[in-house]
Chains A and B, each alone.
Chain A
Amino acid sequence: MTGKPIFRMDVPTVAFGAMIVFWSIIFVVVALPYLTFRPPQSADARPLTVQEERGRKLYAANGCYYCHSQYLRAQDWTGVGSFRTIGRVAQAGDYYYQQTPLLGTERTGPDLSQEGGVHTDEWHLAHFRNPRYTFPKSIMPEFSFYYNAGDEPGPEIYDLVAYVQSLGGRAADDRTARQRTLKQKLLTERAKGNQAIIHEWFPTTWRNVRNPMEPTQRSLLHGKTVFLTNCIGCHGLNGDGKGPASRWVGGVDGQPAPRNFTDITSHQLFSDGELYDAILFGVDGTAMPAWGDMLTVNDIWDVTNFLRTIPNGGLQREPTADMMVSAPDYKPIELTPLTTMLTPPPASPTPSGGELATPPAATATP
Chain B
Amino acid sequence: MSRDFQDVLATPSGVFTTEHSAARNWLLSAIFWLTIADLVGLIAAIEMFSPDAFAGIPWLEFGRVRQLHTNGVLFLWLSMAQIGAFLYIVPKLCGTKLHSEMLGNIMMVLWNVLGIGAVVTLLNGMTQGREYAELIWPLDVMVMIGVLGTGYNIFRTILARKEKKLFVSLWYIMGTMIWMPTLYFIGNVMWEPIFNQIGTGQANWAGFPSGSLQGIDDVIWQWFYGHNVLGYWFTTSGVAITYYIIPVIIRSPLYSHLLSLIGFWSLAFFYGLVGQHHILSTPTPGWLKTLAVLGSLGLFIPVFTFLANIWLTMRGKWGKIYESLPLKFMIVGTIFYFITCVQGPFQSIQGFNRLIHFTNWIPGHAHLALLGTFSFMAMGAIYYIIPVVMRRRIYNPGLAEIQFWLITVGFLLMMISLQIAGLIQGAAWLNGQTVQATLPEIKPYMAIRAVSGALIVISGILQAWNIYKTMTVGERVVGLAPSAAEAPA
Q: Which residues of A contact B (CB under 8 A)?
A: 1-6, 9-11, 14-15, 17-19, 21-23, 25-26, 28-30, 33-34, 36-39, 53, 57-58, 60-67, 69, 71, 73-79, 82, 89-92, 94-103, 105-111, 130-132, 135, 137-145, 293-294
Interfacial chain A residues near B434, Cβ < 8 Å: 78-79, 82, 110, 293-294
Instruction: Compute how far the CA of A183 lies from the CA of B352 in the bound complex, rounded to whole angstroms.
Output: 44
Given contacts A19-B178, A33-B285, 11 further A-B pairs with CB under 8 A are A1-B253, A15-B178, A30-B221, A33-B284, A37-B220, A61-B126, A71-B281, A101-B216, A110-B435, A139-B49, A140-B62
Instruction: Compute how far the CA of A51 lies from the CA of B97 in the bound complex, rounded to whole angstroms.
Output: 57
How many chain B residues touch A (CB < 8 A): the figure is 94
Q: Decide if B210 is an interface residue (CB 8 Å cutoff).
A: yes
Interfacial chain B residues near A25, Cβ < 8 Å: 269, 272-273
Instruction: Compute how far the CA of A355 lies from the CA of B232 in the bound complex, rounded to whole angstroms.
Output: 71
Q: Decide if B63 is an interface residue (CB 8 Å cutoff).
A: yes
Q: Decide if B308 is an interface residue (CB 8 Å cutoff).
A: no
Q: Decide if B219 is an interface residue (CB 8 Å cutoff).
A: yes
Q: Decide if B454 is an interface residue (CB 8 Å cutoff).
A: no
- Taking a contact as CB atoms under 8 Å apart, the answer to whether B216 and A92 are in contact is yes
Stretch at the interface among B254-262, B330-338, B374-382: B254-262
Contacting residue for B212 out of A17, A67, A99, A135, CB 8 A: A99
- List 18 A-B residue pairs with CB atoms under 8 Å apart, sorted by A's residue number: A2-B253, A2-B257, A9-B171, A18-B175, A25-B269, A25-B273, A33-B217, A36-B285, A62-B125, A63-B63, A66-B63, A96-B215, A101-B215, A105-B279, A107-B429, A109-B435, A111-B435, A145-B61
- Taking a contact as CB atoms under 8 Å apart, the answer to whether B282 and A60 are in contact is no
Instruction: Compute how far the CA of A75 lies from the CA of B426 in the bound complex, rounded to whole angstroms.
Output: 11
For window 143-174 of chain B, which residues contact chain A by CB distance below 8 Å? Answer: 155, 158-159, 166, 170-171, 174
Contacting residue for A103 out of B61, B63, B219, CB 8 A: B219
- Taking a contact as CB atoms under 8 Å apart, the answer to whether A22 and B171 are in contact is no
- Taking a contact as CB atoms under 8 Å apart, the answer to whether A37 and B285 are in contact is yes
- Taking a contact as CB atoms under 8 Å apart, the answer to whether B217 and A18 are in contact is no
- Taking a contact as CB atoms under 8 Å apart, the answer to whether B178 and A39 are in contact is no
Interfacial chain B residues near A94, Cβ < 8 Å: 216, 283
Instruction: Compute how far the CA of A75 lies from the CA of B281 in the bound complex, rounded to whole angstroms.
Output: 10
Minimum CB distance partner of A63 in chain B: B63
Q: Decide if B18 is an interface residue (CB 8 Å cutoff).
A: no
Minimum CB distance partner of A34 in chain B: B217
Instruction: Compute how far the CA of A75 lies from the CA of B356 in the bound complex, rounded to whole angstroms.
Output: 13
Q: A2-B256, A6-B258, A71-B281 are in contact. Are A18 and B178 (CB under 8 A)?
A: yes
Stretch at the interface among B79-87, B357-365, B388-396, B457-465: B357-365
- Taking a contact as CB atoms under 8 Å apart, the answer to whether B436 and A90 are in contact is no
Interfacial chain A residues near B433, Cβ < 8 Å: 78
- Taking a contact as CB atoms under 8 Å apart, the answer to whether B171 and A137 are in contact is no
CB distance from A91 to the nearest CB of B (A): 5
Q: A26-B186, A107-B358 are in contact. Are A73 and B62 (CB under 8 A)?
A: no
Q: Decide if B291 is an interface residue (CB 8 Å cutoff).
A: yes
Instruction: Compute how far the CA of A137 lies from the CA of B261 in the bound complex, rounded to whole angstroms.
Output: 53
Stretch at the interface among B104-112, B128-136, B405-413, B480-488: B128-136
Minimum CB distance partner of A57 in chain B: B206
- Taking a contact as CB atoms under 8 Å apart, the answer to whether B55 and A22 are in contact is no
Minimum CB distance partner of A25 in chain B: B272
- Taking a contact as CB atoms under 8 Å apart, the answer to whether A100 and B57 are in contact is no
Minimum CB distance partner of A58 in chain B: B125
CB distance from B482 to the nearest CB of A (A): 22
Contacting residue for A5 out of B159, B257, B354, CB 8 A: B257
Q: A22-B179, A90-B283 are in contact. Are A6 and B261 (CB under 8 A)?
A: yes
Contacting residue for B276 out of A29, A57, A95, CB 8 A: A29
Instruction: Compute how far the CA of A39 lies from the CA of B430 in the bound complex, rounded to whole angstroms.
Output: 29
- Taking a contact as CB atoms under 8 Å apart, the answer to whether B174 and A62 are in contact is no
Interfacial chain B residues near A142, Cβ < 8 Å: 51-52, 55-56
Instruction: Compute how far the CA of A65 lies from the CA of B218 in the bound complex, rounded to whole angstroms.
Output: 15
With a 10 A CB-CB cut-off, give which of A63, A67, A106 has the most chain B CB atoms: A63
Q: Decide if B452 is an interface residue (CB 8 Å cutoff).
A: no
- Taking a contact as CB atoms under 8 Å apart, the answer to whether B436 and A60 are in contact is no
Interfacial chain B residues near A89, Cβ < 8 Å: 283
